[in-house]
C-alpha cells in the first residue's frame, strides 16, 4: 500500500527524539452494508475507510497519531510532531525490514453479492411472517468488509494481511397491541460469500420468529437469587464479561482487575477450562496476525480452574514482564491497539445436558443470551437474557421474559458446578478502549449456582 | 482536498450515470488527547480525519457512497458505487435533495478559546485532575483531557451550500479504591463546547466523594421500591428510548407511541423539549444533515405527546414538514433521525428535597448494561445498578449488585416528582426524578 522506503523514513522520523519503538499501521477497508425492513431493502451503503496510524513508544509513554491524508510529506510531518512529545536523541539509524511469514487460516472463495443476499434475507423475512400472525415486523441487516492492513515497525517487522468478514443480522418482532418482543440472531464469519452456503438463513429466521413469539406470550421473569442454567453458544457471554475482560493485560498492568497477580491460583471451579483461540479457520473472531503483527494463537487462560495466562499485547506485556500472546487488536487505524479477546470459550466438560436440567430443582434456564458489560476492576458484570424458562423439579416449564443476570466474576466462576459436553461458539461485537472488534463467545451448557436474576415478576 | 473543484467533477459524473439530483457531504475533523498516569504522560494523541459522502437520486431512489481516500478521489468510482446502492433500494418512500430553508437562524457554537488553549495547558489540566483525586486510598487509573473540532460542508445540485464548525473540550478521569475485599472503580467525564463552562475540577471533587461513599456497598432484598433516579441516570434511560420519538421508527412500527399524538403519555407535570438553540448545548446547530433549518419544540408537554421528530422523508410520508431532525450518525452514514439537545424540563425541588420526599427508598446513582438490558421497542428494561438506601429522608448505606427492572412507558406515568438539578452530561439530559413502585432485585 505504501512503499517500504517511505515507511522507513516515517518510522525513523517517529523515533528521531529517542523513542525505543515506532510502528505504522496502514488500513484500506472496503465496506458494504444493507438493511431490509419487512422484507424490502430500506438502505444500502458502501465505501472505503482509509488511513494510517503511527504509534511511538518510549518506556511507559505512548504517542499516537493518525491521518487519512496518506502521503509521504504528511506522514513524515505527523511522525515528527509525534516525536516532539518525547525528548532525546535518536538511537535507531536504519531499519532492515523482513517480511513476516505467517499462515493464512482461511482463503475466502466467493465474491460478495449484495443482490443474492437480498434474496436470501427476503426469504428469511417471509419465513418469519409465515411462522405466526403475531410476527408484525422483520428487520434484517447485512455487512461485509475487506480490510487490507500493512503493519511495520522499527524492529524490522513488515506484514501485510487481508481480513475478509461478513455477517447478517436477523430480527423478528412479535406483537399484540402494545406489547412487542424481538427474536434476534447475528451469524458471521471470517469468510467470503461462501459462508451463506454453510448457513441456512430461513431456518435462522424461523428460530428468531419462534423466539419472539415465545417471549411475547411469556410472563415476567422472577427476581432474586437462584440457580441458572445457561445454554451453549452465546451463553459464553458470561465468561466473556465475568472473566475474559479481566484477563486483558491493559487492566492487569494497572492492577485494575480482580485477576491481577493470580496466575497459578485456583480462580474457578475445577470444571472450568477456558481458552482464547484466534486460530480457528474462518471463525468470526479469528486472526491470521493481530494488529501489531503477532501471529494469532490458541491461549489456554484457565485449566481445570487454575489461572494459566492473560491476553497480552506487547506494550502492556513489557510492563508486566510477559510475552505477547497475539491478542493486540484495534477497530481501525484510529485506535491504539491493546489486549483483546478473539474466540473465547469454556471448553466442554463431562456432564450431560439432560442431567443438568434434571438435577435442578428450581431456577431459570436461559436458552439465548444478549450482550453484557463488566467493570474489570471490581469484576461486577451484567448480561441480558433474551429467552428464558423456569425450571421446576428438574423440568423446563413456562417461558419468562426481560431478565438481566448480574454477579461478580471472581464469585461466579467458583459457582459454576456443572459443565456439559456440547460446546458451541456464537458471534458478537466487543467494545472496549481500542474500539469495536469481532469476537466469538462460547461454552457448552452449564449451571451457575445462586446468581442474581433481575426480572419484573 | 479542493472542495469546489472536486464537487463539480463529481456532480458532472453523477449526471452522466443518471442521477437527477445529488449531494456531497464533507467532514473534516482534528482531535487531540493527553492521558496522564502516576504523574507521567501516558498517552499523547493527535489526529486528523474525515472524508466525503456522496448521495444522489436515481429513479426516485437514494444511493450513498463514502470515502476516506481524500488524497485520491475518483469521481467515477464514487458515483458508480452510489448508483449500485440506489438500484438495490425497494422502499417506496419519496426521497429528496433539499433546496434549502427560507431562513437559517444566526447561531454560533464555536468557542475560539478552546482552540487557543495550548498543549501545555491541557497537559497541566490532566495532571491537576490526577492530583485532585489521588490520595486517601484512591489511585487514579487515567486522567485525560481531549479536544476536537469538526467542520462540515453540504453542497447539492439544487444550489444549497452550507457549512458549520463545532468544537468541544473533554475531561475524563477514572479512579479506584479498595476497602477490604471490595475494589471499586469509577469514572466521571465532562464535555463542553465553551471553555468557561468547562469545570473539570468539579468532576474530580465529585469522583472522590462518590468513590469513597460507595465503598462497602452491598445488595438489599428484592422487592418493589420508591426510587430516586439521579439526573444522569434518568438521562441514560431516556437516551435508550429516544428513538421511539422518531417518526421514521413510528412509521415502521418500531415505536409504541404510534397514533398517540395528542394523547397523555406521562404525568401532567412532565415536559420534554428538543432544543437545537440551547446555549452551550453539545448538539446545538442551526441546520440538520439534510440542510433543513432547526427549531425548538416540545415533544411532550404537560404529559401530552405533541410531535414526533421528523426528517424530510418521514415528514413527506406523514404529510407534514421536517422538524429539522434529519441527522447522520457520521459523515459516512445514511440520513436518519436524531434529537438535538433533548431534555426533561426541570421542576422545583432541590436534590436534597427529593431525598426527603422519598423518605424511605433507594437512590440510583449509576446503571450498567443499558445497551443489552433494554428493549427499545417494548420499553422493557432490566439493568444492573448501584446507589444508596434512603432511610428516614436521609442517604444511608451504599448499595450494589442490584437490578432495576421496569418499563419506560409505564415509568412516565409513575413519576412522582421532578427535581431542578437539570445538568447536561451529554446532549440528552434530565433533572433527578422520583418514580414509585419499581422492581429491585437483590438477594
Residues in A touching B334 (Cβ below 8 Å): 43, 45
Residues in B touching A54 (Cβ below 8 Å): none
Residues in B touching A78 (Cβ below 8 Å): 46
Above pLDDT 90, what percent of chain B? 89
Averaged pLDDT, B186-205: 94
DSSP state of A10: H
The phi, psi pair for B175, rounded to 5°, reads -140, 170
Give the residue carrying C-alpha cell 464469519: A189
Taking 80 as the threshold, does the pLDDT of residue A457 lie above it?
A: no
CA-based angle A430:A435:A437, to the nearest 5? 40
Give the pLDDT confidence of A241-258 residue by residue, as tens digits: 999 999 999 999 999 899
Give the pLDDT confidence of A396-408 residue by residue, as tens digits: 999 999 889 999 9
Decide if B88 and A34 are in contact by the 8 Å CB cutoff. Answer: yes
Averaged pLDDT, B152-159: 96
Give the pLDDT confidence of B216-248 residue by residue, as tens digits: 999 999 999 999 999 999 999 999 999 999 999
SS3 B328: coil
Averaged pLDDT, B358-362: 96
Residues 109-138 on A with a CB inside 8 Å of B are 114-115, 118, 136-137
Whole-number pLDDT of residue A107: 96
**Residue of A44, A67, A402 lying closest to B85 (CB–CB):** A44
Give the pLDDT confidence of B367-410 residue by residue, as tens digits: 998 888 898 888 999 999 999 999 999 999 999 999 999 999 99
Label residue B1 by pLDDT band (50, 70, 90).
low
Q: Is A298 on the interface with B (CB under 8 A)?
A: no
Whole-number pLDDT of residue A59: 87
Averaged pLDDT, A349-360: 97
> Which of A370-379, B93-102, B142-151, B332-341 has the weakest average pLDDT?
A370-379
Could you tell me which residue, B107 or A195, shows the higher pLDDT? A195
Decide if B47 and A66 are in contact by the 8 Å CB cutoff. Answer: yes
Taking 90 as the threshold, does the pLDDT of residue B119 lie above it?
A: yes
Q: How far is B37 from chain A (nearest CA, A)?
A: 9
Taking 70 as the threshold, does the pLDDT of residue B441 lie above it?
A: yes
Taking 60 as the threshold, does the pLDDT of residue A278 lie above it?
A: yes
Decide if B369 and A373 are in contact by the 8 Å CB cutoff. Answer: yes
Of the candidates B236, B241, B318, B307, the residue with the CA atom closest to the CA atom of residue B271: B307
The pTM assigned to this predicted structure is: 0.94
Give the pLDDT confidence of A56-102 residue by residue, as tens digits: 999 889 999 999 999 999 999 999 999 988 888 888 889 999 999 99
Taking 60 as the threshold, does the pLDDT of residue B337 lie above it?
A: yes
Cβ contacts from A onto B, under 8 A: 245
**Residue of A78, A372, A453 lying closest to B369 (CB–CB):** A372
**Residue of B50, B371, B375 lying closest to A182 (CB–CB):** B375
Q: Is A415 on the interface with B (CB under 8 A)?
A: no
Q: How far is A26 from chain B (nearest CA, A)?
A: 12
Residue ranges of domains in chain B, CATH in brackets:
3-211 (3.30.2290.10), 216-238+346-441 (no CATH)
Averaged pLDDT, B89-113: 92
Residues in B touching A406 (Cβ below 8 Å): 369, 384, 401-403
Amino acid at each position: 500500500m505504501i512503499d517500504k522506503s517511505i515507511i522507513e523514513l516515517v518510522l525513523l522520523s517517529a523515533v528521531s527524539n529517542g523513542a525505543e519503538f515506532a510502528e505504522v499501521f496502514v488500513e484500506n477497508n472496503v465496506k458494504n452494508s444493507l438493511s431490509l425492513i419487512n422484507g424490502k431493502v430500506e438502505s444500502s451503503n458502501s465505501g472505503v475507510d482509509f488511513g494510517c496510524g503511527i504509534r511511538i513508544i518510549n518506556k511507559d509513554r505512548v504517542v499516537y497519531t493518525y491521518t487519512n491524508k496518506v502521503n509521504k510529506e504528511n506522514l513524515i510531518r505527523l511522525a515528527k510532531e509525534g516525536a516532539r512529545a518525547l525528548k532525546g536523541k535518536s538511537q535507531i539509524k536504519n531499519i532492515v525490514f523482513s517480511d513476516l511469514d505467517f499462515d493464512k487460516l482461511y482463503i475466502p472463495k466467493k465474491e460478495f453479492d449484495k443482490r443474492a443476499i437480498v434474496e436470501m434475507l427476503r426469504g428469511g423475512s417471509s419465513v418469519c411472517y409465515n411462522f405466526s400472525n403475531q410476527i408484525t415486523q422483520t428487520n434484517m441487516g447485512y455487512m461485509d468488509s475487506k480490510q487490507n492492513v500493512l503493519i511495520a515497525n522499527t524492529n524490522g517487522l513488515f506484514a501485510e494481511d487481508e481480513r475478509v468478514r461478513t455477517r447478517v443480522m436477523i430480527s423478528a418482532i412479535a406483537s399484540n397491541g402494545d406489547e412487542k418482543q424481538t427474536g434476534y440472531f447475528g451469524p458471521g464469519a471470517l469468510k467470503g460469500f461462501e459462508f451463506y452456503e454453510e448457513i441456512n438463513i430461513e431456518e435462522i429466521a424461523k428460530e428468531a420468529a419462534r423466539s419472539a413469539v415465545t417471549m411475547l406470550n411469556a410472563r415476567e421473569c422472577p427476581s432474586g437469587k437462584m440457580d441458572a442454567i445457561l445454554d451453549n453458544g452465546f451463553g459464553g457471554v458470561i465468561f466473556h464479561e465475568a472473566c475474559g475482560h479481566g484477563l486483558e493485560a491493559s487492566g492487569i498492568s494497572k492492577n485494575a482487575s480482580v485477576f491481577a497477580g493470580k496466575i497459578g491460583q485456583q480462580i474457578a471451579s475445577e470444571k472450568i477450562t477456558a481458552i482464547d483461540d484466534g486460530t480457528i479457520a474462518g471463525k468470526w473472531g479469528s486472526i491470521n496476525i493481530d494488529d501489531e503483527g503477532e501471529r494469532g494463537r490458541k491461549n489456554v487462560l484457565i485449566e481445570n480452574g487454575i489461572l494459566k495466562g492473560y491476553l497480552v499485547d506487547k506494550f502492556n506485556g513489557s510492563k508486566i514482564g510477559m510475552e505477547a500472546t497475539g491478542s493486540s487488536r484495534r477497530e481501525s487505524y484510529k485506535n491504539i491497539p491493546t489486549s483483546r479477546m478473539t474466540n473465547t470459550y469454556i471448553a466442554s466438560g463431562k456432564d450431560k445436558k439432560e442431567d443438568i436440567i434434571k438435577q435442578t430443582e428450581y431456577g431459570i434456564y436461559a436458552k439465548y443470551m444478549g450482550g453484557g458489560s463488566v467493570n474489570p476492576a471490581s469484576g461486577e458484570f451484567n448480561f441480558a437474557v433474551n429467552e428464558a424458562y423456569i425450571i421446576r423439579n428438574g423440568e423446563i416449564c413456562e417461558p419468562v421474559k426481560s431478565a438481566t443476570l448480574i454477579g461478580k466474576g471472581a464469585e461466579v466462576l467458583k459457582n459454576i458446578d456443572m459443565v456439559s459436553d456440547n460446546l458451541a461458539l456464537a458471534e458478537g461485537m466487543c467494545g472496549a478502549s481500542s474500539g469495536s472488534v469481532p469476537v466469538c463467545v462460547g461454552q457448552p451448557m452449564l449451571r451457575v449456582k445462586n446468581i442474581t436474576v433481575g426480572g419484573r415478576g | 482536498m479542493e472542495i469546489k473543484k472536486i464537487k463539480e467533477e463529481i456532480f458532472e459524473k453523477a449526471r452522466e450515470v443518471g442521477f437527477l439530483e445529488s449531494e456531497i457531504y464533507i467532514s473534516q475533523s482534528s482531535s487531540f488527547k493527553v492521558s496522564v498516569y502516576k504523574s507521567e504522560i501516558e498517552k499523547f494523541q493527535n489526529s486528523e480525519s474525515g472524508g466525503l459522502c456522496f448521495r444522489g437520486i436515481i429513479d426516485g431512489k437514494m444511493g450513498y457512497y463514502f470515502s476516506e481516500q481524500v488524497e485520491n478521489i475518483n469521481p467515477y468510482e464514487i458515483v458508480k458505487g452510489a448508483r449500485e446502492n440506489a438500484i438495490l433500494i425497494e422502499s417506496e418512500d419519496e426521497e429528496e435533495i433539499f433546496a434549502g430553508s427560507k431562513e437559517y437562524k444566526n447561531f454560533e457554537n464555536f468557542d475560539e478559546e478552546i482552540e487557543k488553549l495550548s498543549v501545555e495547558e491541557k497537559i497541566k489540566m490532566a495532571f491537576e485532575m490526577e492530583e485532585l483525586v489521588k490520595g486517601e486510598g484512591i489511585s487514579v487509573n487515567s486522567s485525560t483531557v481531549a479536544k476536537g473540532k469538526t467542520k462540515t460542508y453540504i453542497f447539492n445540485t439544487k444550489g444549497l451550500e452550507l457549512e458549520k464548525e463545532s468544537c468541544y473540550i473533554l475531561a475524563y478521569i477514572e479512579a479506584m479504591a479498595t476497602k477490604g475485599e471490595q475494589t471499586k472503580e469509577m469514572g466521571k467525564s465532562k464535555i463542553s463546547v465553551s471553555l468557561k463552562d468547562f469545570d473539570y475540577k468539579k468532576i474530580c471533587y465529585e469522583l472522590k466523594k462518590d468513590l469513597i461513599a460507595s465503598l462497602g456497598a452491598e445488595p438489599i432484598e428484592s422487592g418493589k421500591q420508591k426510587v430516586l433516579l439521579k439526573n444522569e441516570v434518568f438521562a441514560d434511560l431516556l437516551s435508550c428510548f429516544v428513538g421511539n420519538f422518531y417518526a421514521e421508527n413510528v412509521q415502521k412500527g418500531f415505536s409504541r407511541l404510534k397514533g398517540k399524538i395528542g394523547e397523555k403519555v406521562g404525568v401532567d407535570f412532565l415536559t420534554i423539549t428538543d432544543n437545537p438553540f440551547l446555549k452551550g448545548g453539545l448538539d446545538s446547530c442551526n441546520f440538520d444533515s439534510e440542510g433543513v433549518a432547526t427549531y425548538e419544540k416540545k415533544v411532550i408537554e404537560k404529559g401530552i405527546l405533541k410531535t414526533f421528530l421528523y426528517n424530510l422523508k418521514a415528514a413527506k410520508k406523514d404529510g407534514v414538514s421536517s422538524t429539522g431532525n434529519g441527522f447522520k450518525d457520521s459523515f459516512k452514514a445514511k440520513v436518519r433521525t436524531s434529537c438535538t439537545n433533548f431534555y426533561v424540563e426541570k421542576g422545583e425541588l432541590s436534590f436534597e428535597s427529593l431525598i426527603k420526599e422519598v423518605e424511605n427508598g433507594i437512590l440510583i446513582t449509576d446503571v450498567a448494561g443499558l445497551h443489552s438490558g433494554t428493549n427499545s421497542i417494548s420499553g422493557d428494561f432490566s439493568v444492573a445498578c448501584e446507589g444508596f438506601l434512603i432511610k428516614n429522608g436521609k442517604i444511608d448505606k451504599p448499595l450494589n449488585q442490584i437490578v432495576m427492572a421496569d418499563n419506560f412507558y409505564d415509568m412516565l406515568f409513575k413519576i412522582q416528582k421532578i427535581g431542578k438539578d437539570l445538568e447536561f452530561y451529554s446532549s440528552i439530559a434530565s433533572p433527578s426524578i422520583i418514580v414509585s413502585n419499581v422492581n429491585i432485585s437483590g438477594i
